[in-house]
Amino acid sequence: MKSYKYPKYQIEETEYEKVDVMTFRVLYMYKLFRLLFNPKLKKHLSEEHIQSIKQKVKEQIDESLDSLSFDDIK
């Protein structure tokens, strides 16, 4: 009979919630990029509108990266 091995680390609820939020954001951005860079999007939106959305997303990313500090995440 095999004995049950307990995990080495236990994750607390606050850590889980932080990871959950980050995972949601990453998946959301992935979906957004998939839509934005889909060639068939041109059938539904004008090229100028697509470029303006891409520019806004780029500005948001740049702004977010300026305030990001990996030391704060630890």
Would you say residue 19 lies in a domain? Answer: yes
Written as six digits, the tokens of 68 are: 């990001």
Domains identified in the chain, total number = 1
Domain range holding 51? 14-68
Would you say residue 9 lies in a domain? Answer: no
Would you say residue 47 lies in a domain? Answer: yes
Q: Is the pLDDT of residue 73 over 90?
A: no
Would you say residue 2 lies in a domain? Answer: no
* Cα(37)–Cα(40) distance, integer angstroms: 9
pLDDT at 1: 60
Would you say residue 26 lies in a domain? Answer: yes
Place of tokens 């948001």: 60
Per-position b or e across 44-65, b if 16+ CB within 10 A of its CB:
eeeeeebeeeeeeeeeeeeeee
Would you say residue 40 lies in a domain? Answer: yes
Tens-digit pLDDT profile for residues 11-65:
889 999 999 999 999 999 899 899 999 999 999 999 999 999 999 988 888 888 8
Residue 25: which region, alpha, beta or left (left: phi > 0; alpha: psi -120 to 50)? alpha
pLDDT at 48: 95
**Higher-confidence position of 73 and 48:** 48
Would you say residue 73 lies in a domain? Answer: no
